[in-house]
Every structure is written in C-alpha cells, then in structure tokens.
Chains A and B, each alone.
Chain A
Amino acid sequence: MLIALGLLAAALPVLDAIGQERKSLPTKDKDNPLTELISGYYFTALRPRALQDDDFDNPGFAWVMQGEKLWSQSEGAAQKSCASCHGDAAQSMRAAGAAYPKFQEGTKSVLNLEQRINMCRQDHMQASPWTYESDGLLSMTAYVKLQSRGMPVDVQTDGPASEAFQLGRTLYNTRTGQLGMSCAHCHNDHYGDNLRAEVLSQGHSNGYPAFAVTRQKFTSLHERFRACYRERRAEPYEAGSAEFVALELYLAWRGKGLPVETPAVRR
C-alpha cells in the first residue's frame, strides 16, 4: 500500500508555482548537462503563455504575417522573391528551421537561419541583406521557422560543425563580466530558482524569435543573448557574430528534442 503510494508519487507530473504541469522531456545525449528538458514556456507567467497559445492573440504573428507577405514579394536586381525558387513555404520550408544553425558548404562556416536567409537574398535575389534585428529579417525568420512549429529541434554538431559547437560550449561555460558568471551557473544549476521576482529558465532557444512582453518587442535570440550579457555586466558580442552563432548552435544541441515554438511569447 505504502509502496504503491510511493510509485504513484513517482508517476505524478512535476508542477510549477501555480500548480500547472511543467512538461519535461528526457535528454537524448549523455553529454548534455541537463537531465530533463523544460521549455521556457513553463517558466513564463500564465498571461504570456495564454498569448502564445492563441495565434490570434500572439503579438508575434504580426511579424509572421509580414514574413508571409515578404515571401512572395520580388526584390533586388534579379527581381525574384523567395517564392520564385522555393514555392509554397509550408512545403519547402517544412522542418528547415529546426535544423539551424547549420554548416554551409558555400561559406564553409556555420550559419544561423537569419544569415541563411540573407545569403539567399544576396546570391539569388541580388538584393541587399537585411540588417540584424530589422523587421524584415525578424519577420522572414519567424515565418520560415513557423513551418517547423511543433517539430523537434535537431541540429548537426559533428563533422564540419564541430569547431563552432566547441566554441559555443566554451562560451556557455565561461565566467564573464564583472559578476563573473557563466550561462551554466544560472541555466544549468539554478533553473526554477528565483532571481528577485524572476524565475530562471533553462535558457532554451526553441521559441525564438519571440515576443518579449517586458520590452514589447519581437526579439531575435542574439538580442536576448546580449541582454543576458549586459545583466552580468559583460560586454556582449555583436548580433550575428561567429561567437553568438556558435552559442546558438550549442544551445540548440542542448535543447535537442524540444519542439519549435516560434513565435513564442516570453517575459
């Protein structure tokens, strides 16, 4: 009877502050410092979650719809649009966003989705690249990544991508700034704990670009990185830098298996 109760306890879900289930997935890779994967969704307050749950309420969909419009808008000297080559994004871009950052033979480097989009703009549309954090780049990234929504993050970290992956791992574990903290100190060792009124998440990337309610702004992952650096009084790297792409690759590997939630709503 008592053992049965104990077994029952083991089968019960993990609850958060408001008694809601905090869903976790097992980690697939034995090298992963986490033993369970919990999306940032479950560390976010109820109201932002409700916004994310409803596509009509989700502010991020303003950018997604802009991206959908831009998809078939001809630009550049070649007067081509994304649709000219890729047709229906729902077909051609399916699962593509879940596999980035990815090593590119053309540049012999790992690029994230934003950079891959800009590569297409330059090479095939002969249009100027969008600047990082511009509405155009955020919109197109969100629209492409939406075609992977619900699919598990699955990036390749071996072979030619291994150098960037190792750099990302090093950056993640390096104490930085005047406060001398690494990403791991908060997001591996203390997720679920309170930093003042804020609940620390596991720091996953599966919801980005995401709408940040505190800033009322649609935000790229790299801009979120920069905020984390500034909070520990550290000089952040540039958005789109090789360092942040490497960190993005490491994070994607660390959250491998989590479903893509773009456009998520986060704190």
Chain B
Amino acid sequence: MNSLAPLLMTGAQFNQPVCETPVHKEAHVLTSSPLRIRQVKVTMLRGPLSTLSLCFAILGFGGAALALECKPKTAGYFKELDSVAAGITSPIEQNGLARSLTGALGDPQKGRVAMIDPQKGSCIACHRVAALSAEPSHGNLGPTLNGAGSRFTEAQLRQLVINPKTFFPNTVMPAFHVTEGLTRVPAPFDGGPILTAAEVEDVVAFLKTLK
C-alpha cells in the first residue's frame, strides 16, 4: 500500500478493510448514483501518483468517489454467492448444512489451532483474520474472514468448510471434508479428507466467534 492511499481513504464511509497486500491487480470504486450504489471495476494503476490521479480522473468523469478499496473480495464474495446461490435449487445446499457432522458442538480453541496449522486448515494461508493477527503472514487469495460469523449462518459456514464449490464452483479453495472426485492424491493423504469431522466442527465453532 502506498503512503498516500490511507490519506485518500479517510472518512466514515471507508470501513472496508484497508489492503495490506503488496500487489493489487485492480481497484474497485464505489460510485453513487441516484438509484443505487454501483460497483465499477477499474484497471489498477499503482503508485502514489497514479492512485491520486485515478481519484481525480473519476471525479473528473462525473462519478463521486465514495470509496477506493484495494481488493474488496468481500464485496465480490457476496455478489458471487448471490448469483450462484440463486441457481441452486436444493434448500440444503442453499442454506448450508444445519446439522453438526459429529452431532456435537465444536471447540473454538481447537478450531483456532486448525485455522493456523499448515498441515490442517491453514486458513490464514489465503485469508486475513484479525483475531489471528498474532500469527504472521496472512495471505490474501480469499476474502478476509473478519465478521464471517455475522455474514454467514452456522449452516453456511459448515457447508463452506466442507465444500465451498457448492457455492462457488470455480473457487481455488479446497473442499476440507470431501474425499470423492479428487485425482492423484498420494499416500498418506489418499482416501481421507483434509479435516476430520470433529476438526470441521472446531473450525466452524471458531468462525462463529468472528463477529
């Protein structure tokens, strides 16, 4: 993030996560129109000068630059969820999986460990999580999980951990509790899921705490 951008982003409306990532492929600019909030995708121009002039350019072309966010994957996430979920007819798939895999509640403390462990969930490899900020080097392939417990129901969180492809068919995110349909899985991983049923419940229990 260049030094000027935080200055440009001050203001009450900028409650979007500030991008700490070193590279930004595109910026999304929210512009207001009398009818609705529109999301416009703008090819990212990097560097302090370009960010500044990008804002000016947008102002110059008549849009009011309300927010400039580096990679608002959360916004895209919802959009994608809406469009994909709209095509899903099964109520179980659309609403997630309400029933616990183990029949019991998970342990959020164990879930926290599995979220970090590179051999388990390793969620922070791709997601930024403020509650896990003691752990260094969070990735940014996926949206931040801050507030995931408010954005999704427990059933949806469970479904997302078990197999996110039911919501997002093209996602890079692994299915953490699926063993079918995988190819070239070597020993000792073949036949087993990445997370056990109990570990899925632990992770879901931790995600629910992210309000």
Contacts and interface: CB of A to CB of B under 8 A. Distances in A.
A9 interface: yes
B47 A15 contact: yes
A44 B135 CA distance: 23
A233 B23 contact: no
A177 interface: yes
Interface string B153-194: 000000000000000000010110000011111100110001
A10 B45 contact: yes
Given A5-B56, A192-B25, A195-B125, A176 B47 contact: no
B53 interface: yes
Contacts of A186: 141, 172
Query: Which applies to chain B's interface (DSSP): helix, strand, loop or mixed?
Result: loop
Interface in A1-58: 2-3, 5-6, 8-10, 12-19
A6 B184 contact: no
A209 to B, nearest CB: 25
Contacts of B129: none
A79 B52 CA distance: 67
Contacts of A17: 22-23
17 contacts: A5-B53, A6-B60, A6-B61, A8-B53, A9-B50, A12-B49, A16-B23, A17-B23, A175-B182, A181-B172, A192-B24, A193-B140, A194-B140, A195-B125, A196-B138, A234-B185, A234-B186
Interface of B: 2, 21-25, 44-47, 49-50, 52-54, 56-57, 59-61, 124-126, 136-141, 172, 174-175, 181-186, 189-190, 194
Given A9-B54, A194-B141, 12 more contacts: A2-B60, A3-B60, A12-B45, A17-B23, A178-B174, A178-B182, A181-B172, A186-B172, A189-B172, A192-B24, A194-B139, A233-B186
Interface of A: 2-3, 5-6, 8-10, 12-19, 174-181, 185-186, 189-197, 199-200, 229, 233-235
